[in-house]
Structure 1
Amino acid sequence: MSLFHPRSISTKLVLATTATISMLFVVCGLFQVNDTRKRVDALVERQARTQAEAIAGSIAGQVGQIDGGARTMAGVIGRAHETKALDRTGVLAILKANLEQHPNAFGSWFLEAPNAFDGRKAEMKGQEAFGGNKDGDFAPYWSKSQKGELIFSTFGAKYNEEWYSVAASTGKPWITKPYLAEGTDVPTAMSSLSYPVVSGGKLVGVSGMDLSLGMLSKQLSTLHPFETGRVFLVSQDGKWLAAPSANQLMKPYDGVSPEIIQATLTDNTIKRIEDVASDDGATFQRLVYPFALNGLGVRWILLVDIPNAALTGPVNDQLWMTVLSGLVLLGAVIVGVTWSARSMVRRPLRGLIGDVARLESGQFEQPIAGLETEDETGEVARALEALRHKLARTHALEIEAETQRRSAEAGREQTERERAIHLATQQTVVGALAEALADIAAGNLSARIRTDFPGDYGALKSHFNQAIQSLEEAISVVGKSTVTINGGVNEIAAAAGDLSRRTEQQAAQLEETAAALNEITEQVQASAENARVAANVVKKASVDAETSGQIVQSALNAMQGIEQSSSKITNIIAVIDEIAFQTNLLALNAGVEAARAGEAGKGFAVVAQEVRELAQRAGQAAKEIRALIAASKDQVTDGVGLVARTGEALQAIASQVIEINGLIQMISVSSSEQASGLKEMNHAVHQMDQVTQQNAAMVEETTAAANNLGHEADSLRDLVARFHTTGSTSHGRADPMRRAA
């Protein structure tokens, strides 16, 4: 047999194992490569952030050095101007010295506020040696040539430009957005750091230094992180400060995902741009790293392009290592599985196949091979061994079953013969029973089984004859009892008829009595109701009388309050009268004093006269009010007396109403008790009437039941007459006319 036969279990096992292990290798390799890619990506990004942080720190440091120089220069010029220790030539010297001390700076400058430095604008027109521009503004400017030599010039006073206006208006340092230099020996992009110059609390100008962005771009172009990476710079307004190509400088960012750049300028978070391609076809992962220029309130963005080769190189190496190690391990597994399948599966299975062939041919004597092994083939062998024993026992049982079948056939023939004899006996017994039952069905209860039954059937004959005899005796007794019941029923019916007539007469008399009591009860109840109504009316009148007394008392109290208020008003009127009198005196005195004053007091005399007249009218009005209040007080006193007498009369009426209310209450209670007693008598008569009617109904039901019982007794006697018993005679019927009576 070939080692790799396509139908062989071992071959299938080898192939399945190989496929499974290969799939596991592939899955594990993919997981390992993916994990490696993630770890490499995280490691490279950390390195890129570290390098970006270092480069950003270097740029911020360079800008910080220039910012420090500009801050120092502005402070020196301001303090020297305040102490009158510095003139124009001194400022020129400071600007030059500051530029020489900062090799990364491109220029150093100063622009006075309009005619604020020394007030010599008019005489300094065109005096470039003293820093005067063509308009006479003090605007000196030191810059560098292409060879790095210092060049002196002046510039126009553009007070609206960002490098002057922001620092002058806010009083704080400022770094401008990138712009192209004008009127310099070297055309370059720059950004100016401006500081206000203050002398004696007054702005005298703005000084600053220029940062050459071209030099900064050259520095960044020499940096290559991860060997082939790139570094670029974007300003706070989204323009290239260091760009992939020279023609992109000072232009808005036009690379991949400009929205991410704008978002970074807004939220100041590190971001990443995927799949950035260069002109030569290389691809990068761009790290967007924002950083702040300390003290200037400005944020720039550093772009670090990470080559994809730095990310995929370690991953590819790991992938090849995984593939090679997997292939070697897979080959070793295939060899081991092939040898194991040949020695542990194929050879034992071939032995089991031979044993199954022997069992199929009926050879059950030889044991199954491989019983001693403990693996699955051993379990199969032991199962086949058990099957061999079962087949051997089955073969022996088949022989034994054949012998038993022949014995059973002989027994069956004997049973058939016995069953035929038993069937003939049953037919004899059933025939005798059928004949006796036919006589009973015809009403002949004297019929008996006379034929002898063999064996156990004799007891059946005895029991049947005894049952028929008991039934015959019961029918005879029932026939005799029906005559006795019929006579008793006739007597009960006659008595019930007499009782029914007497009960009906008594019920009619009770009904008339109940009607009369009902009328009396209604009259007494009406009287009691009228008494209750009268009591309620008297009670309400009593309450009204009490309420009227309270109202009269309240009126009396109100009258007394009015009387007291009148007394108080009289006192107040007296005070008003006194005030009017005093006012009249004061007005008189004022008139006298005004007359003494002569011409100057005439106006005051007129006012005093008016006040005097007002005081007199107030006094007259107070007298009239006092007279009216006195009259009102007398009337109130009379009203109090009348109200008091009215209260006494109402109190007497209330007492009499209360006595009448007590009498009516007694009448109402007596009438209610009489009505209650009559109501109870009426209720008792009604109950007697209902009981009498119920008795009458019961008597009628008893009469009907007695008649029904008589009819049932006649029916039962007729039914008994249908049967013929030993010594039976004809039973006579009761007279139906007598029972009906």
Structure 2
Amino acid sequence: MPTFAWLSTYVRGAFMKNVPCEASDQLDPDEYLVTRNDAQGIITYVNGRWYPATGYAPSDLIGAATKMLYHADMPSQVGSDVWATLARGRTWSGLQKLRRKDGSAFWALAIVTPDLRNGTVAGYISVRTRADPAQVAVAETAFAQWKSGKRIRYRMRNGEIVRRRRILRSALDMMPALNSARADAIDTIRLMSGGDLSRRISNDRERSNRKPLIESLDVMRKGFVRAVRDMRASTLATRSAASEIASATVNLSHRATQQSASLEQAAVAIEQLDRSVQSIIDGTTQAHGKTQSAAALAAQGVSAAQQAGRTMSATAERATRIAGISSMIESIAFQTSILALNASVEAARAGIEGRGFAVVAAEVRALSQRSSTAARDIRGLVDDTVAQIEAGAGQVLTNEKTIEQLAEAIIGLEKVVASIAGATHQQGIAISEVSRNISDLSGAVAHTAAMVGQAATAAEALLDQSNALDVSMAAFRLSETDR
């Protein structure tokens, strides 16, 4: 009994602290609500029917105390009977008045079973279904008497509400009813073992003395019905999801294959581009080398032009000196001619003795005249040469400036080519990296395509299993209302 001591206090607190509700209602005929509590009375599990039936979402109930579900009109006699029945290790079955989240009340037939684990009570499991209207009418009267404490004509035994004077008669009538209940239970179990869940179990007033057995079987049948319905719904959803997954994976596999082919084409194109860039790099490297050579030749040309300019300047200077010497020779020849003329005059004055001298003077004069003519010719040639040298020096200077400009242009071109070569080299490195990345990505996509193919195979297997499960579930027969 100490194992269930917490339940008595817990139930009494639940019945005393709730706020009364105004409305009364019933569950649907085939509805059932399941809760599981731990040893401290905390809800650890609720099935999915609580929300549509009561407005409580699973998050509202899990982790909460069960007392939040009970209505204030529940008397303490119900809790005492629940405790006494569970303390004997038996299942309690009776009516409870519960409250919805909006405050409205509803009646339910509750079956509370101890949750035994390794021989120890870990809590209890409660299954609540629709209550019989006739039993609800009796419970309304009994609950009111128990709450008021006056003229108590009813008592509760194992969840069943009976008049005090009928207890003895119920005991005398129990044996025939139990035999009938046993036969009905055997028939029901045989049908259920064959997968036929369509037979509803009657629980009329004449059979109230076999109520726990009948109600337990009916709750079990309803549980099987709900499980079959849920499994069919889950199978249908699984089959639909598996079909969608199979279709999606096939489509994804096709797209992955296309993407892999596209990546392979891109990899080939990148490889071709890489080879082209490498060719460009080689060409720019050669162009860079040639521009460096051209820049060196241009520098040599500038130096040679400068040297030619200096040489022509020196030649012009020498020609000018030659012209000066020619002028001096011409002056000497002119003076010699005058001296020869004077000598001829003096020889004429001397007479016969001066004839020989006169002949010599004439020859000297003739030589001086020819020397003067030759000097004038040389000076003319020198002047022409100097003029040509000066013109050539000007042209050399012009050529020197042109060569210098050409050298500067070649040097600038060499820098541009060097920059292009560096950029092309970096581009080649980047393209090579892109090529490697595309190759890796192509391998990853191919691996993904293979995995998608495996997923498609698994989805098809899941679809086959869903179909097989659906065929297996078809072995269970439900009534039209249960479907």
TM-score of the two chains, using structure 1 as the length reference: 0.22
Larger radius of gyration: 1
Structure 2-normalised TM-score? 0.32
